[in-house]
Structure 1
Amino acid sequence: MNQSSVIFKAKNGQEIEIRSPYENEAQLVLDMMVDVSAHSPYILSTPESFKQKTVESQIKWFKDCQESDASILLAVFNNGRIIGFCGGHSYKDIKRRHRAGLGVTLHPDFRGIGIGQKLMEVLLDNMKRFTGIQIIELDVMLNNQQALRLYEKLGFKKAGIFPKAFILPSGEVSDNLTVVPS
């Protein structure tokens, strides 16, 4: 699935663009994820794991999602800089193909000014059009209070908890909360 450009103003007045990433932006996405994962304990991957990914594998991922009716990738731009990234996809196995999951990340410098909410709204609007999807779900660390407030604001409700699912780099343990839109 492909998303054309959506432009809006953040609460701080900056112009923000959300759209599907282009092939020539694959390295920019990887660089942003290295940076964000180094500054956020809530990203599942590490900077080292993002550094191991190739531009070619990113381009293939971009193309596969653009050609799919049940996957989407979105990038967030501010003055030509990628500051966020998200994706949603349906599960492929027969028993879960009615469900779709998503992941979202936003650079810490751009949180709290309405970008995450707009990004989630654009992502969810696209995912609702996925073929055969009945349930959209999202996993979040219970320690990530800022994200939890956003998901609650967007109408998500608790669906289940997996105790002690994550051990953060600090050694702190976090439960995993699965949430679904109401």
Structure 2
Amino acid sequence: MIIRVLQQSDAEMYHNLRLNGLQTNPEAFGSTYDRESQFSIETVTERIKPTMEKFVLGAFMEQGILVGIVTFVRESSIKTSHKGNVYGMYVTQEMRGNGIGKALMLQLIKKARDCEGLEQLNLAVVSNNVSAMSLYQSVGFVTYGVERNALKYNDEYYDEDLMVLPLKGHFISRGGLIQ
């Protein structure tokens, strides 16, 4: 398996995998298949274009098949630029359970630690997605809150656990020390 930052030339593979994720687990994403299936390849290309503030990692099988993705986006405001966000984690159903999600997250964390001034990573995960929560906990994320009814899909509501990973030392929340 090869994990690397996606480039503009990977846009079509990324788009196909993203659409697969939106169909397979629609409750897990803030977007929808109907919305993103309308995106032009130019829109997708711009979306994955890596910068100092954002990148998409892809996990490729030796045959060059993209089987997993995860996105990092740094906050842009002067008061929030110490934070980065993790979005769009997805591994194909047939490849789950092989450590690909963990490998993607560990590489994302490693790259995030290299961002000057970045102190923490945040993410939101659907509260009943036990396997995803377990993955995030295994790499050091802790839950600091729950947003009730965070997502609504097909008239069903989904709560999201809000999770954080301190990148530099630790910090103290209202609930106590987070390492």
Partner SS state of residue 85, structure 2: strand
Q: Report what 2:110 is aligned to.
A: 125
1:36-70 alpha-carbon deviations (Å, 9 max, x no partner): 2101131222222221212112222333x2xx323
The alpha-carbon deviation at position 116 of structure 1 amounts to 0.5
- The whole-number CA distance in structure 2 between the counterparts of 1:50 and 1:83 is 19
CA distance in 2, matches of 1:111, 1:163: 27
Give the drift of 1:137. Answer: 0.7
Equivalent pairs counted in the alignment come to 163
1:70-125 CA distance string (max 9 Å, x none)? 32211111222211111111111222111110111111221111110011000111
Q: Which residue of 1 aligns with 2:47?
A: 61
Determine the C-alpha separation between the residues in 2 that align with 1:148 and 1:115.
15
**So what's the TM-score if we normalise by structure 2?**
0.83
Give the structure 2 partner of residue 84 of structure 1: 68
Preserved CA contact (<8 Å) 2:58 2:68: yes
50, 71, 84: which one aligns with 2:54: 71
Instruction: Measure the CA separation in 2 of the matches of 1:61 and 1:36.
Output: 17
TM alignment of 1:1-182, pairs within 5 A: 16-40=1-25, 41-63=27-49, 65=50, 68-78=51-61, 79-103=63-87, 104-169=89-154, 171-181=155-165, 182=179
Report sequence identity in percent.
Answer: 23
Structure-2 separation of matches of 1:124 and 1:113:
19
CA contact under 8 A between 1:36 and 1:107: conserved in structure 2?
Answer: yes
Letter of the 1:120 counterpart: M
Q: SS in structure 1 opposite 2:37?
A: helix
1:87 maps to amino acid? T
Task: Give the TM-score of the pair, scaled to structure 1.
Answer: 0.82
> Residues of 2 paired with 1:32 and 1:125: CA distance?
24
Query: What letter is aligned with 1:27?
Result: E
